[in-house]
Amino acid sequence: MRTKLEVCVDSVESAISAQEGGADCLEVCANLIIGGTTPGVSQFKQIRKVCGIELNVLIRPRFGDFLYTDAEFQMMKEDIQMFRNLGADGVVSGCLKADGDLDLDRMGVLRAYAGPLRFTLHRAFDVCRNPYRALEEAVSLGIDRILTSGQASCCLEGREVLKKLMAQADERIEILAGGGVNENVIRQMIEDVPGCSFHMSGKKVIDSGMSYRKQGIHMGLPGLSEYGILRTDREEIEKARAVIKPSCARRRTHHRT
């Protein structure tokens, strides 16, 4: 299975930078600073116009846990149908039950709504009760990919679990390592967890163009500046891509011999 690089983006500008940097595909979302939520329609349309690579849309109605109300679940179904009609290539989502298991009934419904689109089980997987059982359940539902840090705060810390998941998956489902991914992390993991793909944001803070800056007022979370804008850094994506390419070539050479 070819190692791929996915970049999560929450703006048109970031999407362009990620594509130019060599991303294979994008996860399109809003509000990355709180882990990502479902993107806006106009945002997706603009990204679809300027990006020719695969677009996977995050379906997450709010920040927080993955135990959804009936109203939130209805939103998720409608959003999948909408983005499917708008030309998305895949969706990224997940639902849990209160006991920490995958909500198989709801996941099955979302998988059906996605139809021919690729379906990624996102990091709800990282807070589920039993990742090895959840992997088998995901395979049975026809899920295409699992985005995971190995149930750790970052994928380097979860490396041993990722190794076990890769072995268990046995190419039946793609494993996408996320959580703290950058050029150096990929370099440490790519040979140790062969066949694993990677998910990163490659963000940097862009200083606002505002010359007048009102102090002491927060529109969102206290402590976060209103005058720093997160954007994907093309150079960070290029550096990650450069690590992946030679490693893929080495594995192909080894396979032929």
Q: Taking the CA of residue 78 as centre, how many other CA atoms within 13 Å lie in the half-sphere pointing to its CB? A: 8
- What is the pLDDT averaged over residues 59-77? 98
pTM recorded for the entire structure: 0.92
Report pLDDT digits (tens) over 197-221: 999 999 999 999 999 998 887 777 7
Task: Tell the burial category of 49 from Cβ atoms under 10 Å away from its Cβ (0-12, 13-18, 19+).
Answer: exposed
For residue 245, name the pLDDT band (cuts at 50, 70, 90).
confident
- What is the pLDDT averaged over residues 26-30? 98
Q: What is the pLDDT of residue 218?
A: 77
For residue 249, name the pLDDT band (cuts at 50, 70, 90).
very low
| Residue from 59, 43, 55, 52 nearest 89 by CA | 55
Task: Tell the burial category of 27 from Cβ atoms under 10 Å away from its Cβ (0-12, 13-18, 19+).
Answer: buried
Q: How far apart are CA 184 and CA 196, in angstroms?
A: 15
Q: What is the pLDDT of residue 256?
A: 38
> Is pLDDT larger for residue 132 or for residue 192?
132
